Amino acid sequence: MADSKFIRHEPCPECGSKNNLARYSDGHAVCFSLGCTHYEYASGEVAELPVIEHVSKRLEVTGVHKAIPERKISQKTCEKYNVTVEFGTDGKISKHHYPYYNKSTNDQIGTKVRIVDGKQFYSTGTLQDTMLFGQQAWSGGGKYVTITEGEADALAVAEMFDCKFPVVSLKTGCSGAVKDIKENLEWLETFDNVVVCFDSDEPGQEAAKAVLDLFSPNKAKNLKLSLKDAGEMLKEGKIRDFTSEWWNAKTYCPSGIVSGLDTWEILKSRKNVVSVPYPWEGLNVFTKGFRQRELVTITSGSGMGKSQVTRELTHYLRDATEDNVGVIALEEGVDKTTLGLMSVEASKPLHIVEVPEDEERQYWERTLGTGRYFFFDHFGSEREDSLLSRVRYLAKGLDCRWIILDHLSIIVSDQEVPDERKAIDSIMTKLRSLVQETGIGLFLVSHLKRPGHGRGHEEGANVSLADLRGSAAIAQLSDMVIGLERNQQHDDPVVRNTSTVRVL
C-alpha cells in the first residue's frame, strides 16, 4: 500500500457520498467521508476502519501558520482561523489543517486534514459537538455572516473581505448541510443577514435551497456565483466581481413567493396584452374583447347555439389574428367540425345545402386550407390527463394561441369518480393552470343544470352563475362567463330566433 498511488474518486457504497471514496493503483480503496468507516482491500474484500473515539481534551496544533500561495490565502487569514500547514521534503505545502472547536468549551477537539496531492481528506479527534468551521474566530451578532460549503472557500471569502466580515463553512459539505446548520442555528440567527455561498453547481444549489428554508423570513440570501465557488473567484483574481455579486445577493423567498422588489423586472418583461374585439359590438361594451391568458366560459341551455357561437369565433380568429387555432369538439367528428367552419365562410348550412364541388373547395381553401386550424380527431368522452396533454400539445407543439374546447361536461362523463363536482373542480383547476402556463386564450363550453322550478332555459329563463352545472369552480376560475338565452318555444319567429347574450 505504501507504493500505491491515488487514481480517482468514486461513490462510496456505504455512506452514499458521490466522490469521497479514493481508489488506489493496487486496487484498495478508502472512504474519507467523516464518520464513514468503509475500506476495501486490494483483493476486493470489504472491511471497516476503526472509529476514532470521542476526544474531549484540547488537541495540540500541528504545522505552522503560513500563507497558502496556490490558493492566494494570506498568513493573516490563516492565523485568524488558526489554519496551519505542513511542508513536504520538496519544500511545498503537503497538508492543510482545519481546526474544529467544541461548542461548550471552545477547545479544539478535531481537525480536518487536507492532503494537497490527490485532494484527499481525513480527520483527527472528533467533529461531534463542534461549531461550524471558523465560528470560534467570530463573536455572535452583527450585520452579516457568510456560510460556504468548505473550509478553503471560507478562507477565500475571508481573504477577499480582508477578514472584516464573519465567514464560516459547513463541516461535512452538501450531504450534511441541513444538519450542520441546525446544530448552529442559534448562533447564525444572531446576525441580521445570512449569506449562503455554496457551490454554483447543482448539488450546491440544492443544498442551498434546503438550508435557506431554515432561517427566519428576510434573513437569508442566496449567493450563486458566476464561477464554481469562492476559491475559484479568488484564484482567478475576480475579487471585485465576487464582492459585487455578494452585495447584490437577493433575499431568499420560499418557492413560489416573489418579492415585491423583483416585480419591476417582471413587468418590464411582460408582453403587451392585446385585446381582440368580439365580432359582436354589444359584447365588446361589457368585455372590452378577449385576450390571451384568459379562460372564457360560454354556457346556455340545450340547443341555444353554443357550438355555433364557437364556430363563429373560430372562423373570426382567422382574420382577427394571425395565430393558429386549435379546436377540440368532443361531441362531433372532425368532418362535422370542418363542415361547420366552412358553412360560416359560405354563410349557408353546407350539411343541408348542396353546392358544386369547386365552390365547396373554395370555402375549404379559405378556412382549412390556410393551415392555421388544428383539430382533435375524437368523438365522445376522453380521459382528463390525456385531454389536457392534447391541449398542451396544441399550444406548445403546434403554436395554437387560441383553443376552443366544447364541452366541459363530456370530459367528466366517463371519469371513474362518483362526485361530478369534484371532477369538475379538478379539471377546471388544471385548465386554469394550463392557460397560465402556456399563455393561450381558451374558450370553454359548459352546460347548465336544469331549473328546479318555473320555466326552463329552453323557454327563455334568465341564466345565472348558480345555474352552471356541477361546480362553482367554473365561475371562480373563469376570467369571463357568457350566457346565451332564447325562448325556443315562442310563437313569434323573431323572438324564437333571437338570442340574448348575458355577461355573467
Residue 453 has pLDDT above 80, yes or no: no
Confidence of residue 256 (pLDDT cuts 50, 70, 90): low
C-alpha cell at 261: 422588489
Q: Give residue 459's pLDDT.
A: 83
Beta-strand relationship, 324-329 and 250-251: unpaired
What pLDDT does residue 29 have?
85
Judging by DSSP bridges, how do beta strands 400-406 and 324-329 pair with one another?
parallel
Judge whether 136 and 110 are in contact, CB under 8 Å.
no
What is the CB-side half-sphere exposure of residue 286 using CA atoms within 13 A?
12
- What is the residue extent of each domain of the chain? 6-48, 69-259, 281-503
Task: Give the predicted TM-score (pTM) of the model.
Answer: 0.55
Predicted confidence band of residue 2 (pLDDT cuts 50, 70, 90): very low
How many other CB atoms sit within 10 Å of the CB of residue 457?
A: 26
Angle, alpha carbons 480-483-489 (nearest 5°): 175
The string of pLDDT tens digits covering residues 322-347 is 999 999 988 888 999 999 999 999 99
Cis peptide bond N-terminal to 28, omega within 30: no
Determine the pLDDT at residue 151: 96
pLDDT at 441: 97
Residues ≥6 apart with Cβ < 8 Å to 181: 147, 170, 188, 211, 214
Beta strands in 186-333 (DSSP E): 191-197, 220-222, 250-251, 295-300, 324-329
Q: CB within 8 A of 229, min separation 6: which ones?
A: 148, 149, 150, 153, 156, 199, 200, 204
Residue 272 has pLDDT above 80, yes or no: no
Indicate whether 16 pLDDT > 60. yes
- CATH code for the structural domain at 281-503: 3.40.50.300
Whether the per-residue pLDDT at 1 is higher than 60: the answer is no
Residue 54 pLDDT > 50: no
Kindly report the backbone phi and psi dihedral angles of residue 432, in degrees, each rounded to the nearest multiple of 5, phi listed first: -60, -45
Class of the CATH domain delimited by 6-48? mainly beta
Q: Give the pLDDT band of residue 477 (cuts 50, 70, 90).
A: very high
As a whole number, mean pLDDT of residues 290-319 equals 93
Task: For 67-100, write each residue's pLDDT tens digit.
Answer: 999 999 999 999 999 999 999 888 899 999 999 9
What CATH topology corresponds to 69-259?
Dna Topoisomerase Vi A Subunit; Chain: A, domain 2 (3.40.1360)
- Reported as a pLDDT band with limits 50, 70 and 90, residue 414 is low
